[in-house]
Amino acid sequence: MTVNGTQVTRRVQARQHLVDFLREELGLTGSHIGCEHGVCGACTVRVNGEIVRGCLMLAVQANGCKVETVEGLSDSGELKDLQKAFHEKNALQCGFCTPGMLMAAQDLVLQKKKCSREEIRNHISGNYCRCTGYQAIVDAIEQVLNGKG
């Protein structure tokens, strides 16, 4: 598979989840493990352009796929605007949910449409954050989507 633009080849156990593969085999520890049953969204990564839960997909299922993580999208600059807005609005506290939250938010940004706060709230409603209460996250995404300060 291709991970953040680099071709990687590994022999993996059939039972290994994609997020465990990224973290344990490739040392890409930016994608976090929060619940391992698909609820919290901390492990959200992009596979062939679609955001997926890294804990609900097996590594073998990503065979031949293009996988992107928060590290790759940070280095390429794709997340720059969101990261800046998250920083300015303090849309993160402990930062454990943040990589998954950014991946989910970028998915909305790529749709290139203006959204209401309610639509933003709905889009990230599969990403759990215990620290912020979500308002600052909605503010930050709104700033990037709609150019609102």
Partner 1 sequence: MAKAELPLHAPGTQLDKGYIGQSVPRPNAQRLLQGRGAFIDDLRFPRLAHVAFFRSPYAHARIKKLDFSKALKSEGVIGIFDGRAVAEYCTPWIAVLAHLKGIKSPPQHAIAIERACWQGEAMAAVVAESRSQAEDAVQLIEAQWEELPVVVDMDDALEGKKIIHAELGDNICFKRELDTGEVDAAFAKADVVVEDTFHFGRHTGVCLEGRAILADYNAAEHSLTVYHATQAPHMMQDIFSRHLNIPEANVRVITKDVGGSFGIKVHVYADEMATAALSVMLRRPVKFVADRLESFLSDIHAREHKARVRLACTKSGEILAFELDDLTAIGPYSVYPRTSGIEGNQVVNLTGGPYKHRKYRAKMHVVFTNKNVCCQYRAVGHPIAVALTEGIVDLAAQKLGMDAADFRRKNLIPDDAYPYTFPSGIKFEKLSHHKCLDKLLNLMHYDSLRREQNELREKGVYRGIGLAAMIEVTNPSPAFYGVGGARISAQDGATLRLEPTGMLTVMCSVTEQGQGTEAVFAQIAASAVGVTLDKVRVITGDTAVTPYGGGTWASRGAGIGGEAVLLAGRALRSNVLDIAAAILKTEKPKLDLLNNEVIDRLTLESKMPLSELGRVAYFRPDTLPLDFQSELTVTRHYTPRQYGFTFTNGIQASWLEVDPDTGFVRLLKHWCVEDAGTLINPMLVDEQIRGGVVQGIGAALYEECLYSPDGQLLNGNMADYLVPMSGEMCDIVCAHVETPTQQSQLGAKGVGEAGTAGAPAAVMNAINDALAPLNARVTAMPFTPERILKALRKV
Q: Which residues bind partner 1 (CB under 8 A)?
A: 15, 23, 27-37, 39-40, 42, 69-71, 74, 79, 83, 86-88, 90, 92-99, 102, 117, 120-122, 124-138
Q: How many CB atoms lie within 10 A of CB 45?
A: 27
Q: How far is the CB of 31 from partner 1 (least distance, A)?
A: 7
Q: How far is the CB of 18 from partner 1 (least distance, A)?
A: 15
User: How are beta strands 66-68 and 50-53 bridged, if at all?
Assistant: unpaired
Q: Find the farthest-apart pair of alpha carbons in the chain and give their distance in angstroms, rounded.
A: 48
Which is nearer to partner 1, 66 or 117 (by Cβ)? Answer: 117
Which is nearer to partner 1, 29 or 146 (by Cβ)? Answer: 29
Which is nearer to partner 1, 8 or 94 (by Cβ)? Answer: 94
The beta-strand segments (E) located in the chain are: 2-3, 6-7, 44-47, 50-53, 66-68
